[in-house]
Amino acid sequence: MHPQTLASATMLLYIEGVFNLVRGQPLFVVGLAMFPAAWAIANDKRWGWRLGVGMASLAVLIRLAWYGLASPLSLAFALLFPVVLLALLVHPQSREHQRIWFD
């Protein structure tokens, strides 16, 4: 049984993966990588957690590059889910659980 933060991050990885598939080429690749990350986290694989953190970070950086600081409201909406996903993955409960229980 995963902690709530990690279970929520797994579901959000799947959801963000689907949405990223339709957002353009850079996020298409990120979206494709989110599916195996979510599957591996659900199956207690440490590489999946690392991949998920990397892809969530990359999604945040791509959106920052796209929107810049010119339109803060658009940037806030664009960063909402990727930042929440990254926060859930690096939350102390998630990190501790993967450190102890993942292979």
3-state secondary structure string across 10-46: HHHHHHHHHHHHCCCHHHHHHHHHHHHHHHHHHCCCH
Let me know if 72 is exposed, middle or buried by CB neighbors in 10 A (0-12, 13-18, 19+).
Answer: exposed
| Residues 14-69: tens digit of each pLDDT | 999 999 999 888 899 999 999 999 999 999 999 999 999 999 999 999 999 988 88
User: Domain count of the chain?
Assistant: 1
pLDDT tier, 9 (very low <50, low <70, confident <90, very high otherwise): very high
> Which residue range(s) make up the domain with 97?
4-101
Please tell me the predicted confidence (pLDDT) of residue 94: 95
pTM above 0.85, yes or no: yes
Give the pLDDT band of residue 83 (cuts 50, 70, 90). very high
56 neighbors 37 (Cβ within 8 angstroms): no
